[in-house]
Chain A
Amino acid sequence: MRPGPWIRPLTAFALLGVAGCVAPPPPKAWLEVDVARGLAPEPGEARPARVEVVMDVTPSMAAATRGKSSNLDAARAGAAQLLRSIPPDVPATLVAFGATGAACDASLLVLGPESGRPAVLALRAEELTPAAEASLASTLDSVATALAAEKVAERTRVVVFTDLVAQCGGDPCAAGEKLLATGATLDLVVLGDGSVPACLRSPVLPSGLPASVSRRTDTDPVSFRLVAAPAGPAREPTDGVAGERPVRVDAGPATVELALTPPLDVPVVLPAGTLLRLRVIDFPGASPPVRDWLVETAAPPADASQAASPP
Protein backbone atom coordinates (compact mmCIF):
# COMPACT_ATOMS: atom_id res chain seq x y z
CA MET A 1 0.00 0.00 0.00
CA ARG A 2 1.36 3.34 -0.88
CA PRO A 3 1.53 5.82 1.79
CA GLY A 4 -1.14 8.46 1.76
CA PRO A 5 -0.37 11.97 0.75
CA TRP A 6 -0.45 13.08 4.40
CA ILE A 7 2.47 10.91 5.43
CA ARG A 8 5.23 13.22 4.23
CA PRO A 9 4.36 16.22 6.30
CA LEU A 10 3.84 13.95 9.30
CA THR A 11 7.29 12.42 8.89
CA ALA A 12 8.88 15.80 8.55
CA PHE A 13 7.11 16.95 11.70
CA ALA A 14 8.25 13.84 13.59
CA LEU A 15 11.83 14.32 12.46
CA LEU A 16 11.76 17.88 13.61
CA GLY A 17 10.42 16.74 16.99
CA VAL A 18 13.18 14.16 17.40
CA ALA A 19 15.74 16.72 16.38
CA GLY A 20 14.37 19.07 19.02
CA CYS A 21 14.65 16.40 21.70
CA VAL A 22 18.21 15.47 21.01
CA ALA A 23 19.51 19.01 20.37
CA PRO A 24 22.30 19.92 22.81
CA PRO A 25 21.10 22.00 25.77
CA PRO A 26 22.24 25.62 25.99
CA PRO A 27 25.76 25.90 27.43
CA LYS A 28 25.93 26.35 31.18
CA ALA A 29 28.00 28.56 33.45
CA TRP A 30 28.20 29.16 37.19
CA LEU A 31 27.66 32.43 39.01
CA GLU A 32 28.87 33.32 42.49
CA VAL A 33 28.27 36.69 44.16
CA ASP A 34 30.07 38.05 47.23
CA VAL A 35 29.17 41.33 48.88
CA ALA A 36 31.26 42.93 51.64
CA ARG A 37 29.50 45.86 53.26
CA GLY A 38 30.62 48.64 55.55
CA LEU A 39 28.56 50.47 58.11
CA ALA A 40 25.06 51.57 57.31
CA PRO A 41 24.51 55.33 57.44
CA GLU A 42 24.23 56.90 60.91
CA PRO A 43 20.70 56.12 62.09
CA GLY A 44 20.21 59.29 64.08
CA GLU A 45 21.60 61.71 66.59
CA ALA A 46 24.25 60.34 68.91
CA ARG A 47 23.11 59.89 72.48
CA PRO A 48 25.07 61.64 75.24
CA ALA A 49 27.60 60.02 77.48
CA ARG A 50 26.72 59.19 81.08
CA VAL A 51 28.71 59.15 84.28
CA GLU A 52 28.19 56.86 87.25
CA VAL A 53 30.09 57.91 90.38
CA VAL A 54 30.36 55.06 92.89
CA MET A 55 31.45 55.93 96.42
CA ASP A 56 32.69 53.54 99.05
CA VAL A 57 31.09 54.91 102.23
CA THR A 58 31.88 51.98 104.46
CA PRO A 59 33.14 52.49 108.02
CA SER A 60 36.63 51.36 107.01
CA MET A 61 36.80 54.40 104.75
CA ALA A 62 36.03 56.67 107.67
CA ALA A 63 39.07 55.64 109.69
CA ALA A 64 41.51 58.55 109.72
CA THR A 65 44.79 57.99 107.97
CA ARG A 66 48.04 59.85 108.36
CA GLY A 67 46.57 61.45 111.47
CA LYS A 68 44.75 63.95 109.32
CA SER A 69 41.69 63.15 107.30
CA SER A 70 40.07 59.89 106.33
CA ASN A 71 39.78 58.14 103.00
CA LEU A 72 36.11 58.98 103.17
CA ASP A 73 36.97 62.68 103.31
CA ALA A 74 39.08 62.21 100.20
CA ALA A 75 36.32 60.22 98.49
CA ARG A 76 33.77 62.92 99.28
CA ALA A 77 36.05 65.65 97.99
CA GLY A 78 37.12 63.73 94.90
CA ALA A 79 33.60 62.70 93.97
CA ALA A 80 32.25 66.19 94.53
CA GLN A 81 35.05 67.70 92.49
CA LEU A 82 34.35 65.29 89.64
CA LEU A 83 30.60 65.82 89.74
CA ARG A 84 31.03 69.58 89.59
CA SER A 85 33.19 69.16 86.49
CA ILE A 86 30.52 67.29 84.56
CA PRO A 87 28.80 69.31 81.83
CA PRO A 88 25.11 69.94 82.46
CA ASP A 89 23.98 67.87 79.49
CA VAL A 90 25.66 64.71 80.77
CA PRO A 91 23.40 62.59 82.98
CA ALA A 92 25.15 61.65 86.20
CA THR A 93 24.32 59.10 88.88
CA LEU A 94 25.72 58.85 92.40
CA VAL A 95 25.86 55.35 93.82
CA ALA A 96 26.99 54.80 97.41
CA PHE A 97 27.62 51.49 99.11
CA GLY A 98 27.93 51.28 102.87
CA ALA A 99 25.69 54.31 103.34
CA THR A 100 22.54 52.37 104.04
CA GLY A 101 21.23 48.99 105.13
CA ALA A 102 22.64 46.31 107.37
CA ALA A 103 26.17 45.01 107.13
CA CYS A 104 26.90 43.21 103.87
CA ASP A 105 23.30 43.22 102.67
CA ALA A 106 24.23 44.79 99.32
CA SER A 107 21.86 47.75 99.68
CA LEU A 108 22.87 50.64 97.49
CA LEU A 109 21.99 54.29 97.70
CA VAL A 110 21.35 55.42 94.13
CA LEU A 111 20.76 59.08 93.33
CA GLY A 112 20.03 60.00 89.74
CA PRO A 113 20.58 59.92 86.90
CA GLU A 114 20.43 63.68 87.02
CA SER A 115 20.92 65.95 84.05
CA GLY A 116 21.86 69.55 84.59
CA ARG A 117 22.18 69.20 88.34
CA PRO A 118 25.55 67.61 89.02
CA ALA A 119 26.19 70.21 91.74
CA VAL A 120 23.26 68.79 93.67
CA LEU A 121 24.77 65.33 93.50
CA ALA A 122 28.10 66.85 94.55
CA LEU A 123 26.50 68.24 97.69
CA ARG A 124 24.94 64.86 98.43
CA ALA A 125 28.31 63.20 97.93
CA GLU A 126 29.81 65.52 100.52
CA GLU A 127 27.13 64.58 103.03
CA LEU A 128 27.30 60.80 102.77
CA THR A 129 28.05 59.07 106.05
CA PRO A 130 28.95 55.46 106.75
CA ALA A 131 26.31 53.07 107.99
CA ALA A 132 27.55 49.52 107.48
CA GLU A 133 30.21 47.49 105.73
CA ALA A 134 29.39 46.55 102.15
CA SER A 135 30.96 44.75 99.22
CA LEU A 136 32.66 46.56 96.36
CA ALA A 137 32.32 43.43 94.22
CA SER A 138 28.57 43.14 94.62
CA THR A 139 28.24 46.87 94.02
CA LEU A 140 30.12 46.66 90.72
CA ASP A 141 28.06 43.62 89.79
CA SER A 142 24.83 45.50 90.48
CA VAL A 143 25.98 48.54 88.54
CA ALA A 144 26.92 46.33 85.57
CA THR A 145 23.55 44.59 85.65
CA ALA A 146 21.65 47.87 85.84
CA LEU A 147 23.59 49.51 83.03
CA ALA A 148 23.13 46.48 80.78
CA ALA A 149 19.41 46.37 81.54
CA GLU A 150 19.02 50.05 80.71
CA LYS A 151 21.07 49.54 77.52
CA VAL A 152 23.27 52.51 78.37
CA ALA A 153 26.42 50.69 79.39
CA GLU A 154 28.47 51.39 76.28
CA ARG A 155 28.26 55.14 76.83
CA THR A 156 28.71 55.12 80.59
CA ARG A 157 31.89 55.97 82.46
CA VAL A 158 31.95 54.45 85.92
CA VAL A 159 34.24 56.01 88.52
CA VAL A 160 34.76 54.29 91.86
CA PHE A 161 36.26 56.01 94.91
CA THR A 162 37.38 53.29 97.29
CA ASP A 163 40.14 52.12 99.61
CA LEU A 164 39.76 48.57 98.21
CA VAL A 165 39.44 47.15 101.71
CA ALA A 166 37.34 44.03 101.24
CA GLN A 167 34.94 43.51 104.11
CA CYS A 168 32.00 41.59 102.75
CA GLY A 169 33.56 39.22 100.27
CA GLY A 170 32.78 38.91 96.60
CA ASP A 171 35.13 38.80 93.66
CA PRO A 172 36.07 42.31 92.52
CA CYS A 173 37.91 40.87 89.52
CA ALA A 174 34.87 39.05 88.19
CA ALA A 175 32.67 42.04 88.91
CA GLY A 176 35.11 44.37 87.17
CA GLU A 177 35.27 42.14 84.13
CA LYS A 178 31.50 41.92 84.04
CA LEU A 179 31.26 45.68 84.11
CA LEU A 180 33.83 46.09 81.34
CA ALA A 181 32.11 43.42 79.27
CA THR A 182 28.97 45.57 79.18
CA GLY A 183 30.93 48.19 77.27
CA ALA A 184 31.23 50.64 80.17
CA THR A 185 34.61 52.02 81.22
CA LEU A 186 35.91 51.90 84.77
CA ASP A 187 38.11 54.43 86.55
CA LEU A 188 39.24 53.12 89.90
CA VAL A 189 40.36 55.88 92.26
CA VAL A 190 42.23 54.11 95.03
CA LEU A 191 42.48 56.01 98.30
CA GLY A 192 44.80 55.08 101.11
CA ASP A 193 47.07 52.07 101.08
CA GLY A 194 44.70 49.45 99.72
CA SER A 195 46.37 47.04 97.33
CA VAL A 196 45.01 46.78 93.82
CA PRO A 197 44.31 43.15 92.84
CA ALA A 198 46.53 41.93 90.03
CA CYS A 199 43.49 41.20 87.91
CA LEU A 200 42.59 44.86 87.96
CA ARG A 201 46.12 45.91 87.14
CA SER A 202 46.24 43.54 84.15
CA PRO A 203 42.60 43.04 83.36
CA VAL A 204 41.10 40.95 80.60
CA LEU A 205 40.04 43.84 78.42
CA PRO A 206 36.95 43.38 76.30
CA SER A 207 36.98 42.98 72.57
CA GLY A 208 34.29 41.92 70.15
CA LEU A 209 31.47 43.72 68.39
CA PRO A 210 30.49 46.90 70.24
CA ALA A 211 26.87 47.96 70.41
CA SER A 212 27.55 51.19 68.51
CA VAL A 213 28.80 49.17 65.53
CA SER A 214 26.15 46.50 65.84
CA ARG A 215 23.43 49.11 65.41
CA ARG A 216 24.92 50.13 62.07
CA THR A 217 25.69 46.65 60.78
CA ASP A 218 23.26 45.08 58.34
CA THR A 219 23.74 41.34 58.62
CA ASP A 220 20.84 40.40 56.37
CA PRO A 221 22.11 38.52 53.32
CA VAL A 222 22.07 40.42 50.03
CA SER A 223 19.88 38.81 47.41
CA PHE A 224 20.46 39.07 43.68
CA ARG A 225 18.66 38.22 40.46
CA LEU A 226 20.24 37.27 37.15
CA VAL A 227 18.20 38.64 34.28
CA ALA A 228 18.63 39.02 30.56
CA ALA A 229 20.91 41.74 29.36
CA PRO A 230 19.02 44.64 27.74
CA ALA A 231 20.23 43.74 24.26
CA GLY A 232 20.83 40.07 24.88
CA PRO A 233 18.79 36.92 24.31
CA ALA A 234 15.87 36.15 26.54
CA ARG A 235 16.55 34.15 29.73
CA GLU A 236 14.53 33.06 32.70
CA PRO A 237 15.43 35.16 35.77
CA THR A 238 17.48 33.30 38.35
CA ASP A 239 17.49 34.31 42.01
CA GLY A 240 20.34 33.81 44.45
CA VAL A 241 21.88 35.02 47.66
CA ALA A 242 25.32 36.60 47.95
CA GLY A 243 27.81 34.54 49.88
CA GLU A 244 26.16 31.25 49.14
CA ARG A 245 27.15 28.44 46.75
CA PRO A 246 27.57 29.17 43.03
CA VAL A 247 24.38 29.02 40.96
CA ARG A 248 24.29 27.07 37.70
CA VAL A 249 22.87 29.26 34.96
CA ASP A 250 22.80 29.61 31.21
CA ALA A 251 25.92 31.05 29.70
CA GLY A 252 25.83 34.30 27.79
CA PRO A 253 25.27 37.96 28.43
CA ALA A 254 23.15 38.92 31.44
CA THR A 255 22.69 41.47 34.16
CA VAL A 256 23.11 40.83 37.89
CA GLU A 257 20.68 42.93 39.91
CA LEU A 258 21.80 43.28 43.54
CA ALA A 259 19.29 44.28 46.21
CA LEU A 260 21.47 46.98 47.76
CA THR A 261 20.42 50.49 48.67
CA PRO A 262 20.39 51.98 46.11
CA PRO A 263 20.17 48.88 43.86
CA LEU A 264 23.20 47.89 41.81
CA ASP A 265 23.02 46.40 38.30
CA VAL A 266 26.18 44.81 36.95
CA PRO A 267 26.34 43.65 33.30
CA VAL A 268 28.21 40.37 32.90
CA VAL A 269 28.97 37.79 30.24
CA LEU A 270 28.89 34.28 31.63
CA PRO A 271 31.42 32.14 29.73
CA ALA A 272 30.28 28.59 29.09
CA GLY A 273 31.75 26.02 31.44
CA THR A 274 33.24 28.66 33.71
CA LEU A 275 32.57 30.06 37.17
CA LEU A 276 32.02 33.80 37.13
CA ARG A 277 32.56 35.44 40.48
CA LEU A 278 31.18 38.93 41.14
CA ARG A 279 32.78 40.62 44.18
CA VAL A 280 31.17 43.80 45.46
CA ILE A 281 32.29 46.27 48.11
CA ASP A 282 29.63 48.62 49.43
CA PHE A 283 30.20 51.36 52.02
CA PRO A 284 26.95 53.34 52.12
CA GLY A 285 27.89 55.06 55.37
CA ALA A 286 31.21 56.41 54.11
CA SER A 287 31.46 60.04 53.19
CA PRO A 288 31.06 60.02 50.26
CA PRO A 289 29.59 56.51 49.91
CA VAL A 290 31.92 54.04 48.21
CA ARG A 291 30.88 51.18 45.94
CA ASP A 292 33.20 49.04 43.88
CA TRP A 293 33.03 45.67 42.16
CA LEU A 294 35.19 43.17 40.38
CA VAL A 295 34.31 40.34 37.98
CA GLU A 296 36.59 37.29 38.03
CA THR A 297 36.46 33.95 36.28
CA ALA A 298 37.56 30.62 37.64
CA ALA A 299 37.24 26.94 36.98
CA PRO A 300 33.76 25.60 37.62
CA PRO A 301 33.04 23.66 40.79
CA ALA A 302 34.59 20.21 40.53
CA ASP A 303 31.60 18.63 42.13
CA ALA A 304 28.24 19.51 40.65
CA SER A 305 26.79 19.22 44.13
CA GLN A 306 28.78 22.31 45.09
CA ALA A 307 26.65 24.33 42.78
CA ALA A 308 23.15 25.27 43.74
CA SER A 309 20.42 24.76 41.22
CA PRO A 310 18.16 27.66 40.55
CA PRO A 311 14.77 27.23 42.10
Chain B
Amino acid sequence: MRLRGLGKRFSLALCAALFAAPEAWADCEPWPGEPSPLPTSASSDEMTAHFAHLRADELAALALQLEPLAPGDAYRVWLHVACLDPQRDDAREGVNRIAPLRVHAPEVVHQPGEATAAAPDLDSAFGRLDNPISVALPTRVANAAARPVAGSPARSSLAPQPPRAAPEESPLVADGLLDEAEGLVRQAHFEEALKKAAKAREAVPRTGDPAALRQRRARADVIAGTAQVALGKDADARATFERAIQTDPSLRLDRANTSPKVVRAFDAARAAASGDAP
Protein backbone atom coordinates (compact mmCIF):
# COMPACT_ATOMS: atom_id res chain seq x y z
CA MET B 1 0.00 0.00 0.00
CA ARG B 2 1.37 3.35 -1.00
CA LEU B 3 0.60 4.96 2.30
CA ARG B 4 2.07 2.25 4.44
CA GLY B 5 4.63 3.70 6.75
CA LEU B 6 3.20 7.15 6.49
CA GLY B 7 2.18 7.00 10.10
CA LYS B 8 5.72 6.07 11.04
CA ARG B 9 7.15 8.91 8.97
CA PHE B 10 4.69 11.27 10.57
CA SER B 11 5.73 10.07 14.01
CA LEU B 12 9.40 10.51 13.14
CA ALA B 13 8.79 14.04 11.95
CA LEU B 14 6.95 14.78 15.14
CA CYS B 15 9.78 13.33 17.21
CA ALA B 16 12.30 15.49 15.39
CA ALA B 17 10.21 18.53 16.12
CA LEU B 18 9.90 17.62 19.76
CA PHE B 19 13.60 17.50 20.34
CA ALA B 20 13.95 21.13 19.37
CA ALA B 21 13.81 23.81 22.04
CA PRO B 22 10.43 23.98 23.78
CA GLU B 23 9.77 27.45 22.44
CA ALA B 24 10.04 26.02 18.93
CA TRP B 25 7.05 23.76 19.34
CA ALA B 26 5.14 25.10 22.28
CA ASP B 27 3.49 28.35 23.07
CA CYS B 28 5.34 29.23 26.27
CA GLU B 29 2.96 31.95 27.32
CA PRO B 30 1.77 31.99 30.92
CA TRP B 31 -1.63 30.53 31.58
CA PRO B 32 -4.18 32.53 33.59
CA GLY B 33 -3.09 32.71 37.21
CA GLU B 34 0.59 32.21 36.42
CA PRO B 35 3.22 34.94 36.75
CA SER B 36 4.22 36.73 33.58
CA PRO B 37 6.61 36.09 31.93
CA LEU B 38 6.21 32.37 32.52
CA PRO B 39 8.73 31.27 35.17
CA THR B 40 11.21 28.58 34.24
CA SER B 41 13.28 26.27 36.36
CA ALA B 42 16.39 27.91 34.93
CA SER B 43 15.52 31.30 36.38
CA SER B 44 18.26 32.96 38.44
CA ASP B 45 15.62 34.13 40.90
CA GLU B 46 15.25 31.42 43.51
CA MET B 47 11.57 32.01 44.18
CA THR B 48 10.74 32.02 40.48
CA ALA B 49 12.64 28.79 39.87
CA HIS B 50 10.97 27.26 42.92
CA PHE B 51 7.55 28.09 41.51
CA ALA B 52 8.49 26.68 38.11
CA HIS B 53 9.62 23.39 39.68
CA LEU B 54 6.50 23.05 41.80
CA ARG B 55 4.23 23.99 38.93
CA ALA B 56 5.94 21.54 36.57
CA ASP B 57 5.62 18.78 39.16
CA GLU B 58 1.93 19.28 39.75
CA LEU B 59 1.15 19.64 36.05
CA ALA B 60 3.15 16.51 35.19
CA ALA B 61 1.13 14.58 37.76
CA LEU B 62 -2.05 16.00 36.26
CA ALA B 63 -0.96 15.12 32.72
CA LEU B 64 -0.45 11.50 33.70
CA GLN B 65 -3.94 11.44 35.18
CA LEU B 66 -5.40 13.03 32.07
CA GLU B 67 -3.72 10.83 29.48
CA PRO B 68 -6.32 8.05 29.53
CA LEU B 69 -9.25 10.37 30.17
CA ALA B 70 -8.56 13.54 28.24
CA PRO B 71 -5.53 12.98 26.01
CA GLY B 72 -5.97 16.26 24.18
CA ASP B 73 -5.72 18.12 27.46
CA ALA B 74 -2.83 15.96 28.61
CA TYR B 75 -0.91 16.88 25.47
CA ARG B 76 -1.27 20.59 26.17
CA VAL B 77 -0.30 20.12 29.80
CA TRP B 78 2.85 18.22 28.82
CA LEU B 79 3.75 21.05 26.43
CA HIS B 80 3.41 23.53 29.26
CA VAL B 81 5.47 21.38 31.60
CA ALA B 82 8.26 21.44 29.02
CA CYS B 83 8.07 25.24 28.99
CA LEU B 84 8.33 25.44 32.77
CA ASP B 85 11.13 22.91 33.04
CA PRO B 86 12.84 22.16 29.72
CA GLN B 87 15.08 19.57 31.39
CA ARG B 88 12.23 17.17 32.09
CA ASP B 89 12.38 14.11 29.87
CA ASP B 90 8.92 12.98 30.89
CA ALA B 91 7.40 16.06 29.26
CA ARG B 92 8.97 15.29 25.89
CA GLU B 93 8.00 11.67 26.21
CA GLY B 94 4.47 12.61 27.16
CA VAL B 95 4.09 14.94 24.19
CA ASN B 96 5.34 12.23 21.87
CA ARG B 97 3.14 9.58 23.47
CA ILE B 98 -0.13 11.39 23.04
CA ALA B 99 0.06 13.51 19.91
CA PRO B 100 -3.48 14.81 19.31
CA LEU B 101 -3.41 13.86 15.64
CA ARG B 102 -2.17 10.55 14.35
CA VAL B 103 -2.40 9.16 10.86
CA HIS B 104 -2.67 5.40 10.43
CA ALA B 105 -2.40 3.43 7.22
CA PRO B 106 -3.13 -0.14 8.24
CA GLU B 107 -2.65 -3.01 5.87
CA VAL B 108 -5.80 -4.84 4.86
CA VAL B 109 -5.54 -8.62 4.88
CA HIS B 110 -8.07 -11.06 3.52
CA GLN B 111 -8.66 -14.18 5.46
CA PRO B 112 -11.29 -16.15 7.31
CA GLY B 113 -12.50 -14.50 10.47
CA GLU B 114 -10.25 -14.60 13.47
CA ALA B 115 -11.47 -13.17 16.72
CA THR B 116 -9.35 -10.68 18.60
CA ALA B 117 -9.73 -11.97 22.10
CA ALA B 118 -8.01 -9.08 23.85
CA ALA B 119 -9.79 -7.71 26.90
CA PRO B 120 -11.39 -4.31 26.28
CA ASP B 121 -8.84 -1.64 26.97
CA LEU B 122 -8.91 1.81 25.47
CA ASP B 123 -5.19 2.39 25.14
CA SER B 124 -4.63 -1.02 23.60
CA ALA B 125 -7.55 -0.50 21.25
CA PHE B 126 -6.03 2.72 19.95
CA GLY B 127 -2.58 1.16 19.91
CA ARG B 128 -3.85 -1.41 17.43
CA LEU B 129 -5.05 1.10 14.85
CA ASP B 130 -1.90 0.48 12.82
CA ASN B 131 -2.38 -3.27 12.90
CA PRO B 132 -3.67 -5.04 9.78
CA ILE B 133 -7.44 -5.00 9.35
CA SER B 134 -8.81 -8.45 8.64
CA VAL B 135 -11.54 -8.52 6.03
CA ALA B 136 -13.39 -11.58 4.79
CA LEU B 137 -13.18 -12.30 1.08
CA PRO B 138 -16.59 -11.22 -0.09
CA THR B 139 -17.09 -13.94 -2.66
CA ARG B 140 -16.05 -16.86 -0.56
CA VAL B 141 -17.68 -16.49 2.82
CA ALA B 142 -21.14 -17.94 2.93
CA ASN B 143 -23.91 -15.85 4.48
CA ALA B 144 -21.63 -12.93 5.05
CA ALA B 145 -21.76 -11.19 1.71
CA ALA B 146 -18.97 -8.68 1.92
CA ARG B 147 -19.25 -8.35 5.65
CA PRO B 148 -16.16 -8.09 7.74
CA VAL B 149 -15.37 -10.85 10.09
CA ALA B 150 -13.46 -9.25 12.90
CA GLY B 151 -15.02 -10.84 15.93
CA SER B 152 -14.91 -10.85 19.68
CA PRO B 153 -16.51 -12.63 22.60
CA ALA B 154 -18.93 -9.73 22.90
CA ARG B 155 -20.18 -10.30 19.41
CA SER B 156 -20.67 -14.00 19.88
CA SER B 157 -22.73 -13.30 22.97
CA LEU B 158 -25.04 -11.05 21.02
CA ALA B 159 -25.53 -13.05 17.88
CA PRO B 160 -25.12 -16.80 17.62
CA GLN B 161 -22.44 -17.62 15.12
CA PRO B 162 -22.41 -20.69 12.92
CA PRO B 163 -19.73 -23.23 13.71
CA ARG B 164 -16.50 -22.02 12.26
CA ALA B 165 -15.49 -23.97 9.18
CA ALA B 166 -12.00 -25.21 8.60
CA PRO B 167 -9.79 -22.62 6.96
CA GLU B 168 -10.58 -22.28 3.33
CA GLU B 169 -8.07 -23.55 0.87
CA SER B 170 -7.04 -20.61 -1.23
CA PRO B 171 -3.71 -19.14 -2.26
CA LEU B 172 -4.98 -15.70 -1.26
CA VAL B 173 -6.15 -16.91 2.11
CA ALA B 174 -2.87 -18.71 2.67
CA ASP B 175 -0.84 -15.67 1.71
CA GLY B 176 -2.87 -13.49 4.03
CA LEU B 177 -2.32 -15.89 6.90
CA LEU B 178 1.38 -16.16 6.13
CA ASP B 179 1.76 -12.39 6.13
CA GLU B 180 -0.02 -12.19 9.42
CA ALA B 181 2.05 -14.99 10.94
CA GLU B 182 5.24 -13.22 9.91
CA GLY B 183 3.91 -10.05 11.46
CA LEU B 184 3.24 -11.88 14.70
CA VAL B 185 6.82 -13.16 14.74
CA ARG B 186 8.09 -9.61 14.26
CA GLN B 187 5.92 -8.53 17.17
CA ALA B 188 7.27 -11.42 19.26
CA HIS B 189 3.85 -13.06 19.56
CA PHE B 190 5.34 -16.50 18.96
CA GLU B 191 2.53 -18.73 20.23
CA GLU B 192 0.03 -16.91 18.03
CA ALA B 193 2.45 -16.98 15.12
CA LEU B 194 2.75 -20.74 15.51
CA LYS B 195 -1.00 -21.22 15.34
CA LYS B 196 -1.33 -18.82 12.44
CA ALA B 197 1.41 -20.57 10.48
CA ALA B 198 -0.32 -23.91 11.00
CA LYS B 199 -3.57 -22.46 9.67
CA ALA B 200 -1.71 -20.97 6.73
CA ARG B 201 -0.23 -24.36 5.86
CA GLU B 202 -3.70 -25.92 6.01
CA ALA B 203 -5.06 -23.18 3.79
CA VAL B 204 -2.63 -23.92 0.97
CA PRO B 205 -4.73 -25.63 -1.72
CA ARG B 206 -3.96 -29.19 -2.76
CA THR B 207 -4.25 -28.37 -6.41
CA GLY B 208 -2.61 -25.67 -8.45
CA ASP B 209 0.93 -24.70 -9.42
CA PRO B 210 2.97 -27.36 -7.56
CA ALA B 211 6.05 -25.16 -7.13
CA ALA B 212 4.03 -22.26 -5.75
CA LEU B 213 2.13 -24.55 -3.41
CA ARG B 214 5.37 -26.11 -2.12
CA GLN B 215 6.86 -22.67 -1.52
CA ARG B 216 3.83 -21.59 0.51
CA ARG B 217 3.94 -24.73 2.67
CA ALA B 218 7.68 -24.34 3.19
CA ARG B 219 7.22 -20.69 4.08
CA ALA B 220 4.63 -21.66 6.67
CA ASP B 221 7.06 -24.17 8.16
CA VAL B 222 9.89 -21.63 8.27
CA ILE B 223 7.67 -19.21 10.16
CA ALA B 224 6.58 -21.96 12.54
CA GLY B 225 10.16 -23.14 13.04
CA THR B 226 11.31 -19.60 13.78
CA ALA B 227 8.58 -19.21 16.39
CA GLN B 228 9.52 -22.57 17.91
CA VAL B 229 13.17 -21.53 18.17
CA ALA B 230 12.07 -18.37 19.94
CA LEU B 231 9.94 -20.42 22.31
CA GLY B 232 12.86 -22.72 23.11
CA LYS B 233 11.24 -25.72 21.41
CA ASP B 234 14.43 -26.69 19.65
CA ALA B 235 13.49 -30.27 18.79
CA ASP B 236 10.16 -29.15 17.33
CA ALA B 237 11.90 -26.40 15.40
CA ARG B 238 14.38 -28.82 13.89
CA ALA B 239 11.55 -31.17 12.83
CA THR B 240 9.59 -28.31 11.33
CA PHE B 241 12.60 -27.03 9.41
CA GLU B 242 13.27 -30.57 8.17
CA ARG B 243 9.74 -30.77 6.83
CA ALA B 244 10.19 -27.38 5.16
CA ILE B 245 13.36 -28.55 3.46
CA GLN B 246 11.73 -31.81 2.35
CA THR B 247 8.78 -29.83 0.97
CA ASP B 248 10.99 -27.41 -0.91
CA PRO B 249 14.58 -28.64 -1.23
CA SER B 250 15.57 -25.33 -2.82
CA LEU B 251 14.61 -23.46 0.34
CA ARG B 252 17.22 -20.96 1.53
CA LEU B 253 17.06 -18.54 4.48
CA ASP B 254 17.82 -14.85 4.21
CA ARG B 255 20.82 -15.15 6.48
CA ALA B 256 21.46 -11.42 6.65
CA ASN B 257 18.05 -10.81 8.19
CA THR B 258 17.63 -13.98 10.21
CA SER B 259 18.62 -14.60 13.78
CA PRO B 260 21.83 -16.69 14.09
CA LYS B 261 19.99 -19.03 16.42
CA VAL B 262 17.37 -19.72 13.77
CA VAL B 263 20.05 -20.13 11.12
CA ARG B 264 21.85 -22.72 13.26
CA ALA B 265 18.62 -24.66 13.81
CA PHE B 266 17.85 -24.51 10.11
CA ASP B 267 21.36 -25.69 9.15
CA ALA B 268 21.09 -28.56 11.61
CA ALA B 269 17.77 -29.53 10.06
CA ARG B 270 19.28 -29.41 6.57
CA ALA B 271 22.16 -31.57 7.71
CA ALA B 272 19.70 -34.04 9.22
CA ALA B 273 17.57 -34.03 6.08
CA SER B 274 20.59 -34.81 3.95
CA GLY B 275 21.75 -37.52 6.32
CA ASP B 276 24.77 -35.57 7.57
CA ALA B 277 23.49 -35.10 11.06
CA PRO B 278 25.58 -36.45 13.91
Residues of A participating in the B interface, judged by any CB pair closer than 8 Å = 34, 36-39, 46-49, 51, 66, 68-70, 73-74, 76-78, 80-82, 84-88, 90, 118-120, 122-123, 126-127, 153-157, 159, 176, 180, 182-196, 200-203, 205-214, 217-219, 279, 281, 283, 285-286, 290, 292, 294
Contact = CB atoms under 8 A, between A and B. Distances in A.
B3 A194 contact: yes
Given A85-B128, A210-B72, 12 more contacts: A69-B108, A77-B150, A85-B121, A119-B154, A123-B158, A155-B69, A157-B122, A189-B106, A201-B10, A201-B13, A205-B99, A213-B73
B73 A119 contact: no
A283 B101 contact: no
Nearest to A193: B2
B98 to A, nearest CB: 7
Nearest to B99: A205
A212 B75 CA distance: 11
Interface residues of B, number: 79
Contacts of B50: 281, 292
Given A85-B118, A191-B108, A286 B70 contact: no
Given A205-B100, A210-B77, A77 B2 contact: no
Nearest to A184: B72
B54 A86 contact: no
B125 A200 contact: no
Contact of B148 (A38, A73, A87): A73
Contact of B152 (A48, A84, A189, A281): A84
B146 interface: yes
A46 B65 contact: yes
5 contacts: A39-B59, A81-B134, A85-B122, A180-B72, A212-B62
B13 A187 contact: no
A13 to B, nearest CB: 54
B125 A85 contact: yes
A68 B172 contact: yes
B76 interface: yes
Contacts of A184: 72, 100
A119 B157 CA distance: 9
B3 A87 contact: no
B214 to A, nearest CB: 24
B24 interface: no
A292 B34 CA distance: 16
Contacts of B57: 286
Contact of A185 (B71, B137, B155, B158): B71
Contacts of A78: 106, 129, 133, 150
A196 B62 contact: no
B105 A69 contact: no
B120 interface: yes
Interface stretch (B25-33, B205-213, B236-244): B25-33
Interface in B76-102: 76-77, 79-80, 98-102
A196 to B, nearest CB: 6
B58 A188 contact: no
Contact of B69 (A47, A77, A279): A47
B27 to A, nearest CB: 4
B76 A210 contact: yes
Interface string B130-157: 0001111110000000111111101101
B35 A187 contact: no
B152 A190 contact: no
Contacts of B150: 77-78, 80-81, 84
Contacts of B129: 78, 82, 159, 187, 189
A187 B73 contact: no
4 interchain residue pairs of minimum CB distance = A77-B148, A85-B125, A210-B73, A119-B154
B33 A219 contact: yes
A206 B54 contact: no
Contacts of B25: 205
Contact of A187 (B1, B2, B126): B126
